[in-house]
Amino acid sequence: MNHKQITAPKELRTVIVRGIRSALLELGSATKAELCQHLGISFPTASKFLAQLQKRGELIAVGYDDSSGGRRAKRYAYHADYMLGLAIFMEKTETNYVIFNCLGEIKDEGTTAGALESDAEHLTQQIAGMIAKYPKISSIAIGVPGAVNNGRIIYIPGYEHFRDLNLKLHLESRFAIPVVVENDMNAAVLGYSRNGAAGNSLLVYICFGQNGPGAGLLINGDVVRGKSFFTGEVSFLPQYEHLNFGQALSRQGRDKASSLLTDAQVDAISRLVAAFTAIINPHTIIFSRDEVEISSLERITNRSADYIPGEHLPKLSLGNLKKDYLDGLQYLGLELMISGAGESPLL
C-alpha cells in the first residue's frame, strides 16, 4: 500500500531547520526533548528533521544523558565546520578577508591586493581562489565604502566603475552561493553591538576612513539605512558657511596616518556629535582607535558641550574598526548560512 508522504510547507521547513541550527549553536548541544521545548515543535517533527540533518552531516551525536528511569536521551550538537562563511572588506589599497565556521571560529584570514581600484572581475577571481581552497564556503559577506541598496552599490565616491553594480547578483550568478553586500560602517556598528554593547540601544560608529568620513547607526538592534539607503553619509553635513563635514575635517590637510587631531578637527567632530545628540540622542558614539586618541575624546566632549547641554551628550568610546567591521560581516554571513539561503530544502 502506498502512503502519501506528508510534508510541511517549504516556508515552515525553512523555519524549523533555521530554529534547530540556531538552538544548537546557542545551546552547544541539546536533546530531542529540549529542542521540542525550545522551538515549540512536536516530538515526531523534531525526530524527522534531526534524522535528515544528521544524515547529511550537519549534526553529530555527542552521547547520551543519564537515565531518569526510561530510555537515555541522545544529545546532539551542530557540526560547526559543515558550512564555512567568507567575509571580505574592501579598502583602497587592500582587501581583508576571514573564513570562519558556524561557531565564528577563524579557519583562515589574510590580506590580498586591493580590488577597489581594479574591477569586479578582479574581486571575483580572488573569491574564486578562496572557494577553490575552501569548497565548504556557503555564504559571502562583503563590505564596501559606499551606500548599498539590496546588493547594488549606489554611491561609492572615487570608484565610479563600481557604482550601480549589483555586486550581490554578480557574485551569486557566478558562484551560486548566497551573498550579502553591506556598507562598511553599517557592518562595523553591527559588529560592535555584538561584542558586549547590547545594553546600548542607540549606537553611532564614526570613521574618517581612507575614502572619506562615514557613520553607521544602530537603533534597538537594527541598522538604520534610510529611505534611499543613504544614511551615514556624514561628509555632506553642512557645518560652516561654506564647508560640509568632509571638507572641514580635511581643510588643514588631515594626516590620515595620525590619530592626533587639530583644534579645527575637534571642533568639526564636536559639531557632528552635537548634531547626532540633538537628532537621535544616542547612548554611545564610537570612533576608531586608529584615528582618535583617548585624550581626544575628552577634548571632543568638552567642545561638544559648547553646542549642546552636556548632560545630554553620549558616551564617547573607541572601537577596533577592523575587528568590528569583520565581526559585523561575519554575523551577516552566519545569518545567511543558518537561514539556509540557496540550499536544497529538506523533505
Residue 282, C-alpha cell as written in the block: 544616542
Q: How far is CA 291 from CA 188, 300, 303, 333, in A?
A: 15, 13, 18, 27
pTM for the structure as a whole: 0.87
CB 202 within 8 A of CB 280: yes
Q: What is the pLDDT of residues 187-237, one digit of tens each?
A: 999 999 988 765 668 999 999 987 789 999 999 889 999 999 999 999 999
- Any idea what DSSP says for residue 1? -
What's the pLDDT at 259? 62
What's the pLDDT at 71? 76
What's the pLDDT at 198? 53
Q: d(Cα 207, Cα 80) in Å, to the nearest integer?
A: 33
What's the pLDDT at 305? 97
What's the pLDDT at 76? 92
What's the pLDDT at 73? 85
What's the pLDDT at 346? 57
Which is it for strands 59-64 and 214-219: parallel, antiparallel or unpaired?
A: unpaired
Q: How far is CA 194 from CA 187, 327, 330, 332, in A?
A: 11, 8, 11, 11
What is the full DSSP assignment across 292-333?
--HHHHHHHHHHHTTTS-GGGPPEEEEE-HHHHHHHHHHHHH
Give the residue among 269, 310, 274, 305 at the shortest CA–CA distance from 287. Answer: 269
Provide the sign of the torsion angle of the four alpha carbons 329, 333, 335, 336, taken in this order: positive
What's the pLDDT at 80? 93
Residue 323, C-alpha cell as written in the block: 575587528
Give the residue among 66, 75, 170 at the shortest CA–CA distance from 123. Answer: 170
CB 188 within 8 A of CB 159: no
User: Which parts of the chain sit beneath pLDDT 50?
Assistant: 1-7
What's the pLDDT at 199? 60
Amino acid at the residue 98: V
What's the pLDDT at 345? 54
